[in-house]
A and B are shown apart, each in its own frame.
Chain A
Amino acid sequence: MADLSINLAGIKSPNPFWLASAPPTNSGYQVQRAFEAGWGGAVWKTLGEPIINVTSRFAGLHYGGQRVLGFNNIELITDRPLEENLKEIAETKKLFPKHALIASLMVEPKREAWHEIVKKVEAVGVDGLELNFGCPHGMAERGMGSAVGQHPDLVRQQVEWVKEVAQTPVIVKLTPNITDIRYTARAAAQGGADAVSMINTINSLMGVDLDTWLPIPHVDGKGAHGGYCGPAVKPIALNMVAECARDPQVGIPISGIGGISTWRDAVEFLLMGATGVQVCTAVMHHGFRIIEDMIDGLNNYLDQRNIPSVMDIVGKSVHTYSDWGNLNLNYKVVARINPETCIVCNKCHIACEDASHQCIDRVTDITTGKERLIVREEDCVGCNLCSIVCPVEGTINMVEVPTGKPPLTWNQRQAALSAGGSCDAGCPH
């Protein structure tokens, strides 16, 4: 059994799986059920001045027979009085002293307001704070949430205010609704944040009803943009985590959030620099019990590789993530189609023909009379499209072919050119 415990900026938890601040962490009842099921930590549903919610609130994106590939919501922060939440936090912490309990906070952008709430929640024994600078709907219109997270200077200033009084580690939750998340992550670090968490939800409109012409979801005939999350957002979140992880100016631990549904997703986030992960949509879809496979799968993954601790994989892939300019221009892969398993659906052919470089030929085998698909490797640009559309796992493989040329990146090539020399063979200049 591998050691699954983590230490994220001083916050310890028995495993890297936390519930994100969201509907599943709305109450002590829920968080205690989650801890009983095996969750290592929970970020309590954002505390602040209680709000008024609307109905309806959620919508799901179903695609090709699979439900909830994406999800969005227009629910706001907690609608329950602060005192009630604090009482339940204290209770929960007492029952589960070893689990990470983090309070998500959102208040008006005023120094006193931040001081007041930080003192109140720390008094009931939370292990850390998460500043919600990410919520994109409703609260942003009132100058909070992502309205803060879209301005590095506002982020920096409010983190500074919090750090003036905070005794526990401060995590800053960032919005992805911004051109380059590294700027706000750096601002958080400059303000003294102990960690950043990302991503909060993405601005979205889930759909329009074809019969009523109303937005989905709607509230009495009107809709507003909601926060998008679920499996569909994972690649966006993973990139943002990786970008921040490899940015020395950020330089603080990351709690990864965004579409994490399984232990496999978690491993990817950990490898790309997250010290732990937060989950919401998968729990909203299936309940707290998904944690069983997340823990079991992660443990088996580590055991099968003889990795003693989950902390050993944190950030191990970050060095492989870089700028485009550092990619080797002389590396070449081509598609190869296995005729033994190919079912001749011709999807690779038409994809290549219409959308790539017209190098998959349909050839009739003269001996058998059967049609085959053959890649003209000299024309193949190695784009992967055919292998992506191929429905038979393992039938189209992208195979490395030696180019006989030394590695050369765009940056090296430009540097060589500007130095007046010629770059490597193969360069047309």
Chain B
Amino acid sequence: MTLTYNLQENFREVVPALKPKEAVDEANRCLFCYDAPCTRACPTSIDIPSFIRKIATGNLLGSARTIMEANPVGASCARVCPTEELCEGACVLNHASGSRPIMIGLLQRHATDWAMKNNVNLFAKGQPTGKRVAIVGSGPAGLSAARELARWGHQVTVFEAKEKAGGLNTYGIVSFRLPQEVALWEVEQVASLGVEFRTGTRVGTDVMPDELLQNYDAVLLACGMGSVPALGIEGETLDGVLDAISLVEATKTKPLDDRMLGKKVAVIGAGNTAIDAATCSVRLGASQVQILYRRTAKEMTCYPFEYEFAKQEGVEFRWLVAPKRILGENGRVTGLELIRMQLGEPDEKGRKRPLPIPGSEFVIEVDYVVKAIGQSRLIPLIEAFGLAHRGGVVEVREGTYQTSHPRVFAAGDVIFGGGKTDAMVVDAANQGKQAAKAIHQALSSLRQQG
């Protein structure tokens, strides 16, 4: 990678789009399988052979519609999905001798880029039903649900604490992977169906859960998760201790600054957000970026392609170390004391538990410590709705996403209880879609009774 001191340049989308001929050639390589494994591997069940055939026949509008119909954040997913584990990993051409899988992600981007560039509205709102739905959070889950409900004619209001809608896709994924305009285009597509976005409105502070329950026929809680929790070690308040989510968000909302130029950065954690924080630091000009993880490469939750990308960016990985103390001088971070770890018995999630090796402490010189150890749960908000939860993970019924409150549904990270990888955007999109279906069914039966 060639970095420049023009930081703006470093934050441009890193993967180049397919050129038109490349896209058509690639589309023509698709076998157009029947009951295709790629579609079965997609959490939102995009009819992949169909959208690819439409690229081949020059029906780009139809192609974009096929994608976005199944996945309201299909343009973002074209960029952030772990395709080698999903559609592309399932492509039958993986098995054909001398062949390679279709570049489904890039083709999906090609079609949705066309729709973005040509400023088309892909969908229309449905006949008004008179039913009102409140959605808390405008990330992938909330946005998907809003789009589906609006197409069925329900009046949808989305409450978003931030200044702009889009949630994680707008604020939480580095621009060189997912430019903000892509996420905002998806928001516009939903807004064009008459969905009202009340941005800068935090539910629980600016609007109370009770008000929502009173004024709306149904509520979807798609608020995601909270901020990065504290490490709980000495030195955490020093200048130079950052959290990964705020770091990424700052690069997407403020002019890029050069304070990391030539500095040493340590990132604690090895999920996708950690990778984002690390590559972000590289692109902000840091001279050394290390990811510190208390387990090994085998246990980390980032996608393999993100790991590869980070390595190509020059990010160093240190396994089996945990931070013990942040060192500082004059209120500024100067170093980090680490302790070596070893893996013990598997924990309740099946991951081997890291155990400190007594007396193995050592110090590394750093200027910044970035916390990427997951996100806290929005328990006060969940409890304000009176919803049953397990440690901040809202309990829902399988398939309908209905919570313990019959008129409240939940989708996205707020119901994510951990798994092999980080929570995926595409899963949140699907949950939003499925929850919308359940809400629609509930409202429709309500209407028949009423």
- The total of interchain contacts (Cβ-Cβ below 8 angstroms) comes to 36
Known: A66-B28, A262-B56. 5 other contacts (CB 8 A): A263-B57, A293-B54, A296-B62, A304-B61, A393-B21
B32 within 8 A of A: yes
B20 within 8 A of A: yes
Interface residue from B32, B58, B61, B65 paired with A264 (Cβ < 8 Å): B58
Query: Bound state CA distance, A290 and B47, in angstroms?
Result: 13
Residue in chain B with minimal CB distance to A303: B61
> Within the complex, what minimum Cβ distance (angstroms) separates A24 from chain B?
15
Q: Which residues of A contact B53 (CB under 8 A)?
A: 290, 293
Query: Bound state CA distance, A293 and B58, in angstroms?
Result: 10
> Within the complex, what minimum Cβ distance (angstroms) separates A416 from chain B?
44
Whether A293 contacts B57 by the Cβ 8 Å rule is yes
Query: Bound state CA distance, A289 and B47, in angstroms?
Result: 12
Which among A262, A300, A393 has the greatest number of chain B C-beta atoms within 10 A?
Answer: A300
Q: Which residues of A contact B32 (CB under 8 A)?
A: 286
> Within the complex, what minimum Cβ distance (angstroms) separates B89 from chain A?
24
Bitwise, B1-39 to A at CB < 8 A (1) or not (0) is: 000000000000000000011000000100010100000
Whether A263 contacts B59 by the Cβ 8 Å rule is yes
A287 within 8 A of B: yes
Query: Bound state CA distance, A198 and B1, in angstroms?
Result: 58
Whether B54 contacts A393 by the Cβ 8 Å rule is no
**Docked complex: B318-372 residues within 8 A CB-CB of A:** none
Whether A297 contacts B28 by the Cβ 8 Å rule is no
Q: Which residues of A contact B21 (CB under 8 A)?
A: 392-393
Residue in chain A with minimal CB distance to B57: A262
Residue in chain A with minimal CB distance to B55: A293
Query: Bound state CA distance, A304 and B53, in angstroms?
Result: 19
Residue in chain B with minimal CB distance to A391: B21
B50 within 8 A of A: yes
Which among B28, B57, B61 has the greatest number of chain A C-beta atoms within 10 A?
Answer: B57
Interface residue from A264, A287, A289, A297 paired with B62 (Cβ < 8 Å): A297
* Known interface pairs A66-B28, A287-B34; A297-B57 also in contact (CB < 8 Å): yes
Whether A297 contacts B34 by the Cβ 8 Å rule is no
Q: Which residues of A contact B59 (CB under 8 A)?
A: 263, 293, 296-297, 300-301
Query: Bound state CA distance, A195 and B93, in angstroms?
Result: 45
Whether A297 contacts B54 by the Cβ 8 Å rule is yes
Query: Bound state CA distance, A286 and B49, in angstroms?
Result: 11
Q: Which residues of B contact A289 (CB under 8 A)?
A: 34, 50
Query: Bound state CA distance, A262 and B58, in angstroms?
Result: 10
Query: Bound state CA distance, A293 and B32, in angstroms?
Result: 12
> Within the complex, what minimum Cβ distance (angstroms) separates A35 from chain B?
18
> Within the complex, what minimum Cβ distance (angstroms) separates A196 from chain B?
27
> Within the complex, what minimum Cβ distance (angstroms) separates B448 from chain A?
29
Whether B34 contacts A264 by the Cβ 8 Å rule is no
Q: Which residues of A contact B34 (CB under 8 A)?
A: 287, 289
**Docked complex: B254-293 residues within 8 A CB-CB of A:** none
A312 within 8 A of B: no
Query: Bound state CA distance, A154 and B34, in angstroms?
Result: 44
Please name the 9 residue pairs, one residue from A and one from B, whose CB atoms are nearest each other, closest first. A297-B59, A296-B62, A262-B57, A300-B61, A393-B21, A293-B54, A286-B32, A293-B53, A297-B57
Whether A393 contacts B20 by the Cβ 8 Å rule is yes
**Docked complex: A292-327 residues within 8 A CB-CB of B:** 292-293, 296-297, 300-301, 304
Q: Which residues of A contact B57 (CB under 8 A)?
A: 262-264, 293, 297
> Within the complex, what minimum Cβ distance (angstroms) separates B310 from chain A?
34
Whether A296 contacts B54 by the Cβ 8 Å rule is yes
**Docked complex: B53-108 residues within 8 A CB-CB of A:** 53-54, 56-59, 61-62, 65
Residue in chain A with minimal CB distance to B56: A262
Size of the B side of the interface (Cβ < 8 Å), in residues, is 15
Q: Which residues of B contact A290 (CB under 8 A)?
A: 53
Residue in chain B with minimal CB distance to A292: B50
Query: Bound state CA distance, A315 and B21, in angstroms?
Result: 31
Residue in chain A with minimal CB distance to B19: A393
Size of the A side of the interface (Cβ < 8 Å), in residues, is 17
Whether A293 contacts B20 by the Cβ 8 Å rule is no
Query: Bound state CA distance, A307 and B34, in angstroms?
Result: 33
Query: Bound state CA distance, A300 and B64, in angstroms?
Result: 12
* Known interface pairs A66-B28, A286-B32, A290-B53; A297-B20 also in contact (CB < 8 Å): no
Query: Bound state CA distance, A296 and B62, in angstroms?
Result: 6
Whether A300 contacts B62 by the Cβ 8 Å rule is yes
Report 19 cross-chain contacts, Cβ distance below 8 Å, ordered by A residue: A66-B28, A262-B56, A262-B57, A263-B57, A286-B32, A287-B34, A289-B34, A289-B50, A292-B50, A293-B54, A293-B57, A293-B59, A296-B62, A296-B65, A297-B54, A297-B59, A300-B59, A300-B61, A392-B21
> Within the complex, what minimum Cβ distance (angstroms) separates B120 from chain A?
10
Whether B50 contacts A297 by the Cβ 8 Å rule is no
Query: Bound state CA distance, A293 and B66, in angstroms?
Result: 10
Query: Bound state CA distance, A264 and B34, in angstroms?
Result: 22
> Within the complex, what minimum Cβ distance (angstroms) separates A230 from chain B?
15
Q: Which residues of B contact A262 (CB under 8 A)?
A: 56-57
Which among A66, A287, A297 has the greatest number of chain B C-beta atoms within 10 A?
Answer: A297
> Within the complex, what minimum Cβ distance (angstroms) separates A259 from chain B?
14
Q: Which residues of B contact A304 (CB under 8 A)?
A: 61
> Within the complex, what minimum Cβ distance (angstroms) separates B51 from chain A?
9
Bitwise, A65-79 to B at CB < 8 A (1) or not (0) is: 010000000000000
Q: Which residues of B contact A286 (CB under 8 A)?
A: 32
Which among B56, B58, B59, B61 has the greatest number of chain A C-beta atoms within 10 A?
Answer: B59
Q: Which residues of B contact A296 (CB under 8 A)?
A: 54, 59, 62, 65
Query: Bound state CA distance, A192 and B147, in angstroms?
Result: 56
Query: Bound state CA distance, A262 and B21, in angstroms?
Result: 18
Query: Bound state CA distance, A301 and B21, in angstroms?
Result: 20
Which among A286, A287, A293, A304 has the greatest number of chain B C-beta atoms within 10 A?
Answer: A293
Which among B21, B56, B61 has the greatest number of chain A C-beta atoms within 10 A?
Answer: B61
Residue in chain B with minimal CB distance to A294: B57
Q: Which residues of A contact B50 (CB under 8 A)?
A: 289, 292-293
Residue in chain A with minimal CB distance to B49: A289
> Within the complex, what minimum Cβ distance (angstroms) separates A118 from chain B?
38
Q: Which residues of A contact B56 (CB under 8 A)?
A: 262
**Docked complex: B84-140 residues within 8 A CB-CB of A:** none
Query: Bound state CA distance, A262 and B56, in angstroms?
Result: 9
Query: Bound state CA distance, A329 and B61, in angstroms?
Result: 40
Q: Which residues of A contact B62 (CB under 8 A)?
A: 293, 296-297, 300
> Within the complex, what minimum Cβ distance (angstroms) separates A218 from chain B?
28
Query: Bound state CA distance, A304 and B114, in angstroms?
Result: 14
> Within the complex, what minimum Cβ distance (angstroms) separates B354 from chain A?
51
Query: Bound state CA distance, A398 and B32, in angstroms?
Result: 35
Q: Which residues of B contact A263 (CB under 8 A)?
A: 57, 59
Q: Which residues of A contact B54 (CB under 8 A)?
A: 293, 296-297
> Within the complex, what minimum Cβ distance (angstroms) separates B385 from chain A?
42
Q: Which residues of A contact B65 (CB under 8 A)?
A: 296
> Within the complex, what minimum Cβ distance (angstroms) separates B117 from chain A?
15
Residue in chain A with minimal CB distance to B53: A293
Query: Bound state CA distance, A262 and B54, in angstroms?
Result: 9
> Within the complex, what minimum Cβ distance (angstroms) separates A429 from chain B?
47
Query: Bound state CA distance, A99 and B61, in angstroms?
Result: 27
**Docked complex: A396-411 residues within 8 A CB-CB of B:** none
Query: Bound state CA distance, A297 and B56, in angstroms?
Result: 11
Query: Bound state CA distance, A290 and B28, in angstroms?
Result: 14
Query: Bound state CA distance, A393 and B25, in angstroms?
Result: 12
Q: Which residues of B contact A297 (CB under 8 A)?
A: 54, 57-59, 62
Residue in chain B with minimal CB distance to A299: B62
Q: Which residues of B contact A264 (CB under 8 A)?
A: 57-58
> Within the complex, what minimum Cβ distance (angstroms) separates B228 from chain A?
45
Q: Which residues of B contact A293 (CB under 8 A)?
A: 50, 53-54, 57, 59, 62
Residue in chain A with minimal CB distance to B66: A296
Residue in chain B with minimal CB distance to A298: B59
Q: Which residues of B contact A301 (CB under 8 A)?
A: 59
